[in-house]
Amino acid sequence: MEIKVNALMLRSIDYGENDKILTLLSAENGKISAGIKGVKKAAAKLKFAAQPFCFAEYVLSKRGDRYTVINASENESFYDLRTDVNKFYAASAAVEAANALTYEGDECREILYAAVGALSEMCLGNETQALIKFLLFALSRSGYGINAERCAVCGADLQSGQTALRFDMGAGSFICAECGDGAGASRVTYNVIRKLQGKSFDEECVTDDGEKRALRLIREYVSYKLNVSFKSLSEYIRLI
């Protein structure tokens, strides 16, 4: 049996001397693990299909519960992301998050197309904001959305006059300093997240440092919720 899927290559693992096992995020069948043969050879026809960030139509042969890539037609390689170290790690963080926040058998079309859109934005401009926006969207669609509204405990307005805020890792919510002992947060982090969620924000609080702080908070939140460490995200934060 053969099927065709439009998919983003999330992860590859060496298998044997010349083969790999790919993790694909597909529009039609969710997340799929598939073997691909001979792609470690220099002249392999399907070498591109196992490259980081490849978005392609993959033709898969299914035998039992196992898939094998037998052909592929590239839609977008996002080659520019592989020539800039900052963009490479930002893109790697995005696909690493997409892998952690999706599961085999689940419908994840929205996260797939958001990831592809984020990679396109990273090629053209500010990779930091594109990454934060994607992470917030993917977290929301996976049931781990971040609440950057009023204080989740007392309802206080967090945009007026508050300097020290806190973030409740369990609830995924910002709270005022008087209402809890969550992780320390700042107004710049809060406003960067509000901006990239498409909400009103204080322009003066959206800074490069605020973006870096927002990424740190998101990293800690995801690690707390999913018990995973985002190595690519940590490296990107170190670089910027």
Domains of the chain, residue spans:
2-76
Task: With cut-offs at 50, 70 and 90, classify the pLDDT of residue 162.
Answer: low
Could you give the residue ranges of the DSSP H alpha helices within 101-207?
Answer: 109-124, 127-141, 187-196
Task: With cut-offs at 50, 70 and 90, classify the pLDDT of residue 161.
Answer: low
Instruction: Say what the pTM is.
Output: 0.94
pLDDT of residue 163: 66
How far apart are the C-alpha atoms of 235 and 186, rounded to whole Å? 22
How far apart are the C-alpha atoms of 59 and 27, rounded to whole Å? 13
Average pLDDT taken over every residue of the chain: 93
DSSP character at residue 180? -
Closest CA to 33 of 91, 103, 83: 103
How far apart are the C-alpha atoms of 144 and 173, rounded to whole Å? 10
Numbers of helices and strands, H then E, in the chain? 6, 8
Task: With cut-offs at 50, 70 and 90, classify the pLDDT of residue 177.
Answer: confident
DSSP E strands, 86-201: 164-168, 173-176, 183-186
User: H or E element: which one contains 75?
Assistant: strand 66-76
DSSP character at residue 84? S
pLDDT of residue 142: 94
The Cβ of residue 178 has, within 10 Å, a number of other Cβ atoms equal to 12
The Cβ of residue 130 has, within 10 Å, a number of other Cβ atoms equal to 23
Lowest-pLDDT range of 75-89, 118-132, 152-166, 220-234: 152-166
Task: With cut-offs at 50, 70 and 90, classify the pLDDT of residue 43.
Answer: confident
Which position has the token pair 């899927």?
5
Is residue 98 predicted with pLDDT exceeding 90?
yes
What CATH number has the domain spanning 2-76?
A: 2.40.50.140
